[in-house]
Structure 1
Amino acid sequence: MTTKENFQQHISTGYQTKKDFFTLGTGILEKAPVKDATVKIPLKTLNRHGLIAGATGTGKTKTLQVMAEQLSLKGIPSVLMDLKGDLSGLARPGTSNDHIVWRSDAIGIEYEPTGLPVELLTISQEPGTRLRATVTEFGPVLISQILDLNSTQQGIIALVFRFCDIKKLPLLDLQDLKKVLQYVINEGKEEIKQEFGAVSTSSVNTIMRKIIELEQQGAASFFGEVSFDANDLVRFKDDRGVISIIRLTDIQDRPKLFSTFMLSLLSEIYETFPEQGDADKPKLCLFIDEAHLVFDNASKELIDKIEAIVKLIRSKGVGIFFCTQSPTDIPENVLGQLGLKVQHALRAFTAKDRKAIGKTAENYPISEFYDTKAVLTSMGIGEAMVTALNEKGIPTPLAHTLVRAPVSRMDVLTADEISELAQHSGIASKYNQLIDRKSAHEILEEKLVQAELTAKEKATSRPTGRTSPKEEDSLFEELSKNTMVRQIGRTIFRELTRSILGTLSGKRR
Structure 2
Amino acid sequence: MDPILLGKGLTDDVAVTLLPKYGNRHGLVAGATGTGKTVTLMTLAEGFSRIGVPVFMADVKGDVAGLAVAGEGGDKLARRAAEIGVADYAPAASPVVFWDLYGKLGHPVRTTVSEMGPTLLARILELNDTQSGVLDIVFKLADDRGLLLLDLDDLRALLGVVAEERKAVSAEYGLVSAPSVAAIQRALLRLSRDGGEAFFGEPALELADLMRVNHDGRGVIGILAADQLILKPRLYATFLLWLLAELFETLPEVGDLDKPRLVFVFDEAHLLFDDAPAALKQRIEQVVRLIRSKGVGVYFCSQFPDDVPDDILGQLGNRVQHALRAYTPRDQKAVRTAAQTFVPNPKLDVAAAISRLGTGEALVSTLQDKGVPAPVQQTMIAPPRCRMGAISEPERMQVRAASPVGMRYDTPVNRESAAELLAARVQAASTQADAPAARQDGEGGFGQKVHEFLFGTKRRQGAVEAVAKQTARNVGGSIGRSVGNSIGKSVGGKTGGKYGGQIGNQVVRGVLGQIFGRR
**Shorter-chain TM-score tier:** 0.7 to 0.9
Q: Show CA shifts across 1:438-468 (max 9, x none).
A: 1111111111232234345468889xxxxxx
Give, in whole Å, the separation in 1 of the partners of 2:85 and 2:198. 49
The aligned counterpart of 1:243 is 221
Q: Secondary structure at the match of 2:386?
A: coil
Tell whether the 8 Å contact from 1:121 to 1:245 is kept in structure 2 after alignment.
yes
The aligned counterpart of 2:5 is 23
The aligned counterpart of 1:400 is 378
- Percent of matched pairs sharing the same residue: 41
In the alignment, which of 49, 52, 61 is matched to residue 75 of structure 1?
A: 52
In the alignment, which of 189, 198, 203 is matched to residue 212 of structure 1?
A: 189
Deviation at 1:432, TM superposition (A): 1.1
Cα separation, partners in 2 of 1:213 and 1:418, compared to 1, 3 Å: same
In the alignment, which of 293, 305, 308 is matched to residue 315 of structure 1?
A: 293
Q: Secondary structure at the match of 2:10?
A: strand
Deviation at 1:260, TM superposition (A): 0.8
Tell whether the 8 Å contact from 2:342 to 2:375 is kept in structure 1 after alignment.
no
Q: Which amino acid in the other structure matches residue 26 of structure 1?
A: K
Q: Show CA shifts across 1:314-346 (max 9, x none).
A: 111000101111101111111110010000000
The aligned counterpart of 1:196 is 173
Give the superposed CA RMSD.
1.5
Q: Which amino acid in the other structure matches residue 383 of structure 2?
A: A
Tell whether the 8 Å contact from 2:142 to 2:148 is kept in structure 1 after alignment.
yes
Tell whether the 8 Å contact from 1:44 to 1:391 is kept in structure 2 after alignment.
no
Q: Secondary structure at the match of 2:231?
A: coil
Deviation at 1:236, TM superposition (A): 1.5
Give, in whole Å, the separation in 2 of the partners of 1:268 and 1:461. 55
The aligned counterpart of 2:369 is 391
Give, in whole Å, the separation in 2 of the partners of 1:73 and 1:356. 34
The aligned counterpart of 1:476 is none
Within 5 A, what are the aligned runs for 1:174-193? Answer: 174-186=152-164, 188-193=165-170
The aligned counterpart of 1:159 is 137
Counterpart check, 1:335 vs 2:317: no
Deviation at 1:97, TM superposition (A): 2.7
Name the larger-Rg structure.
Answer: 2
Q: Secondary structure at the match of 1:413?
A: coil
Deviation at 1:175, TM superposition (A): 0.7
Counterpart check, 1:112 vs 2:94: no
Within 5 A, what are the aligned runs for 1:478-497? Answer: none
Give, in whole Å, the separation in 1 of the partners of 2:248 and 2:110. 17
Tell whether the 8 Å contact from 1:45 to 1:391 is kept in structure 2 after alignment.
no
Flag the structure with more relative contact order, 1 or 2, with Cα contacts below 8 A and sequence separation at least 6. 1
Q: Which amino acid in the other structure matches residue 342 of structure 1?
A: V
The aligned counterpart of 1:492 is none
Tell whether the 8 Å contact from 2:4 to 2:20 is kept in structure 1 after alignment.
yes
The aligned counterpart of 1:7 is none
Q: Show CA shifts across 1:454-503 (max 9, x none).
A: 345468889xxxxxxxxxxxxxxxxxxxxxxxxxxxxxxxxxxxxxxxxx
In the alignment, which of 354, 357, 362 is matched to residue 376 of structure 1?
A: 354
- Give 5+ residue unaligned stretches, structure 2: 441-519
The aligned counterpart of 1:60 is 37
Q: Which amino acid in the other structure matches residue 194 of structure 1?
A: A
Higher mean C-alpha deviation, range 105-114 or range 262-271: 105-114
Q: Secondary structure at the match of 1:249?
A: coil
Tell whether the 8 Å contact from 2:265 to 2:299 is kept in structure 1 after alignment.
yes
Q: Show CA shifts across 1:385-441 (max 9, x none).
A: 111112311111111111101111111110110111112111010111111111111
Give, in whole Å, the separation in 2 of the partners of 1:108 and 1:434. 48
In the alignment, which of 269, 272, 284 is matched to residue 262 of structure 2?
A: 284
Aligned length: 438
Deviation at 1:109, TM superposition (A): 2.1
Q: Show CA shifts across 1:131-160 (max 9, x none).
A: 111101110111101101100000001001
TM-score computed with the length of structure 2 as normaliser: 0.82
Give, in whole Å, the separation in 1 of the partners of 2:175 and 2:428. 26
Give, in whole Å, the separation in 1 of the partners of 2:129 and 2:431. 39
The aligned counterpart of 2:341 is 363
- Give 5+ residue unaligned stretches, structure 1: 1-18, 463-509
The aligned counterpart of 2:272 is 294
Q: Which amino acid in the other structure matches residue 144 of structure 1?
A: A
Deviation at 1:98, TM superposition (A): 3.2
Within 5 A, what are the aligned runs for 1:420-431? Answer: 420-431=398-409
Deviation at 1:92, TM superposition (A): 1.4
Counterpart check, 1:252 vs 2:230: yes
Give, in whole Å, the separation in 1 of the partners of 2:54 and 2:205. 17
Tell whether the 8 Å contact from 1:115 to 1:407 is kept in structure 2 after alignment.
yes
Deviation at 1:197, TM superposition (A): 3.1
Counterpart check, 1:84 vs 2:61: yes
The aligned counterpart of 2:148 is 170
Give, in whole Å, the separation in 2 of the partners of 1:366 and 1:117. 38
Q: Show CA shifts across 1:148-196 (max 9, x none).
A: 110000000100111111111000100110111111111x223313311
Q: Which amino acid in the other structure matches residue 375 of structure 2?
A: P
The aligned counterpart of 1:497 is none
Q: Secondary structure at the match of 1:397?
A: coil
Give, in whole Å, the separation in 2 of the partners of 1:366 and 1:420. 48
Give, in whole Å, the separation in 2 of the partners of 1:61 and 1:290. 11
Cα separation, partners in 2 of 1:270 and 1:50, compared to 1, 3 Å: same
Q: Which amino acid in the other structure matches residue 315 of structure 1?
A: S
The aligned counterpart of 1:489 is none
Q: Secondary structure at the match of 1:450?
A: helix
Give, in whole Å, the separation in 1 of the partners of 2:112 and 2:382. 42
Q: Secondary structure at the match of 2:380?
A: strand
Q: Which amino acid in the other structure matches residue 405 of structure 2?
A: I
